[in-house]
Amino acid sequence: MPMNILDKLSISGKIVLPIIEGGKGIGVSNGETAGAFAAAGAVGTFSGVFPQVIDDNGEIIPLIFKGKNRKERFEEIIDHCIKGCISQAQIASDIAKGNGRIHINILWGMAGAERILNGVMESAKDKIHGITCGAGMPYKLADIAEKYKTYYYPIVSSTRAFRALWMRSYNKFSDLLGGVVYEDPWKAGGHTGLTQKDNPDVEEDPFHRVREIRQYMNKVGLEKTPIIIAGGVWYLNKFKDLIDNIEIGPIAFQFGTRPMLTQESPISTRWKEKLFSLTRKDVTLNKFSPTGFYSSAVNNEFLIELKERSKRQIDFRNESDSEFNTAISLKSDAKPIYVKSIDTNRIDEWKSNGFSVGLKTPDSTIVFVSSEKATQIRDDQRNCKGCLAGCKFSSWMQSPETNYSTGEIPDPRSYCIQGTLQNIIQDDNIDNQLMFSGSNVFNFSKDSLFSKGYIPTIKEMIQRILNGK
Ligand SMILES: Cc1cc2nc3c(=O)[nH]c(=O)nc-3n(C[C@H](O)[C@H](O)[C@H](O)COP(=O)(O)O)c2cc1C
Ligand code: SF4
């Protein structure tokens, strides 16, 4: 029995510890965390989503938008992300000093993902050994990896998703497919890959899903390509059925939430303190993200407000009929719309409680919010920076063919994810911002490594992970 629960593995062209840092935007995993993972002989992953740009004197260059509209601001974002990734790759490389491996994480669902990757790899390919990519179907990832001779790692949550990627493009570039990240869609932090086929309330056993992916990979000649298990991984001795199992083949493990409570983690002291106090029921899956994906986050005031907002919702029609027979006006000068007569009592009650503004949604419903919230929603929509490939909150779409619009009306039940993730990493007001988290976060209050408020270094955390406990 080896001292470590896992043997080293070839990842991105080097034999390293099969422990991988989960990429986390905005700025939650960066050059310093990635460098520390690599320095410890593992794999660090900095996030390519709005990374900080650092000048030659080590000063942060903030992104102050000058663009007059979202299309111009979207161009500024791309430029900033490229420069920021180059800064973070340099930081990670300086810390790693040739040890371990350094990966970049890009969300395929972010605007300009392809342009950003090309821009970064042109300048920093010697410092980046692999590209991890999720949140969408990154078909073009393989071509980009081939262009820069870098390893690539799609993040999937089902065999179906991997099969589609493989058949459409990855089969042409199998040598550089460094691994397939299986992210448990019920447990992982951040956006998750739950589909309409999955029941968010009924978790499936990762063993069966991973085995199915391996069976498919074996069928197409990928027996030696590792599967990287992500989502809900904390103590490796709970994954004994997957380790050294010929049915599962080579595997590595990715940690997203656990490295957030380390010395190198850039999140605020308040956020770190909060992590110590969270229990199992504090983390829930929700579907409010403007990307349309499910995501896993702490059920704080930010999320509670979104849930309450969506409950204050009724159907409406533009023309009256036998059911929608009661006219109301959202503004004094607006054309009336029609609601069910049974809903008028609820509207009156919401109004009397201060939720006096009705906002239309793309699903022929109206949500009722306070006038302050309505102003905030409209301001956020107006100040959109075009950060996503498609955004249901502002109806921005990165597509000149559709005049940069999804064609839907903006959805007031969602939120600007760019703004809130930027705020939580910069502010102390963490309860009123989106706090992504894996479902395993409650372990911080139970794991003896973190007892009495102790915050380990990334190296210490990795040593502990390798013990299995
Ligand atoms: C705060 C936070 C932000 C995240 N951001 C991203 C991201 O930008 N891109 C991504 O692919 N995954 C992101 N993730 C997912 C992680 O990379 C990782 O796969 C996941 O957290 C694994 O589950 P665990 O939290 O149970 O370890 C994020 C997770 C958290 C907790
Ligand atoms: S409104 Fe949507 S696309 Fe615009 S900046 Fe916010 S999250 Fe990004």
pLDDT tens column, 96-123: 999 999 999 999 999 999 999 999 999 9
Please report, for the chain, the start and end positions of each structural domain, with discontinuous segments joined by +.
9-278+441-467, 301-432
Residue 254 burial by CB count (10 A; 0-12/13-18/19+): exposed, middle or buried? Answer: buried
Centre of ligand 1 to C-alpha 378, Å, is 29
Taking Cα atoms as reference points, which of 171, 179, 183 lies closest to residue 150? 179
User: What's the predicted TM-score (pTM) here?
Assistant: 0.95
**Chain center to CA of 308:** 23
> Which residue is associated with the tokens 């929509």?
381
Q: Ligand 2 atom 3: the closest Cα is on which residue?
A: 386
The predicted structure's pLDDT at residue 196 = 86
Answer whether 138 contacts ligand 1 (Cβ < 6 A): no
Taking Cα atoms as reference points, which of 335, 341, 384 lies closest to residue 360? 335
Type and span of the H or E element at 131:
strand 130-134
**CA-CA distance, 158 to 6, in Å (whole number)?**
24
Angle between helices 458-467 and 31-39 (to 10 degrees): 50
CATH class of 9-278+441-467: alpha beta
Name the closest ligand to CA 377.
2
**Which atom of ligand 2 is closest in space to residue 387's alpha carbon?**
8
The predicted structure's pLDDT at residue 3 = 63
Q: Mean pLDDT over all residues of the chain? A: 95
Asked if 413 and 306 count as a contact pair (C-beta separation under 8 A), the reply is: yes
Which residues sit with their C-beta closer than 6 Å to ligand 2?
290, 384-388, 391, 393-394, 396, 416-419
- The beta strands (E) that lie in 233-382 are given as 251-255, 283-286, 294-298, 313-315, 326-328, 337-339, 357-360, 365-369
Angle between helices 141-148 and 113-124 (to 10 degrees): 10
Asked if 215 and 158 count as a contact pair (C-beta separation under 8 A), the reply is: no
> Which residue is associated with the tokens 């419903």?
365
Q: Ligand 1 atom 3: the closest Cα is on which residue?
A: 24
Name the closest ligand to CA 289.
2
Name the closest ligand to CA 253.
1
Answer whether 230 contacts ligand 1 (Cβ < 6 A): yes
The predicted structure's pLDDT at residue 152 = 98
Centre of ligand 2 to C-alpha 394, Å, is 6
pLDDT digits (tens, 9 = 90+) for 145-161: 999 999 999 999 999 99
Centre of ligand 2 to C-alpha 291, Å, is 9
The predicted structure's pLDDT at residue 1 = 41
**Residue 437 in tokens:** 């988290």
pLDDT digits (tens, 9 = 90+) for 412-433: 999 999 999 999 998 878 999 9
**CA-CA distance, 297 to 283, in Å (whole number)?**
5
Asked if 33 and 264 count as a contact pair (C-beta separation under 8 A), the reply is: yes
Centre of ligand 2 to C-alpha 74, Å, is 10
Residues of the chain short of pLDDT 50, as ranges, are 1-2
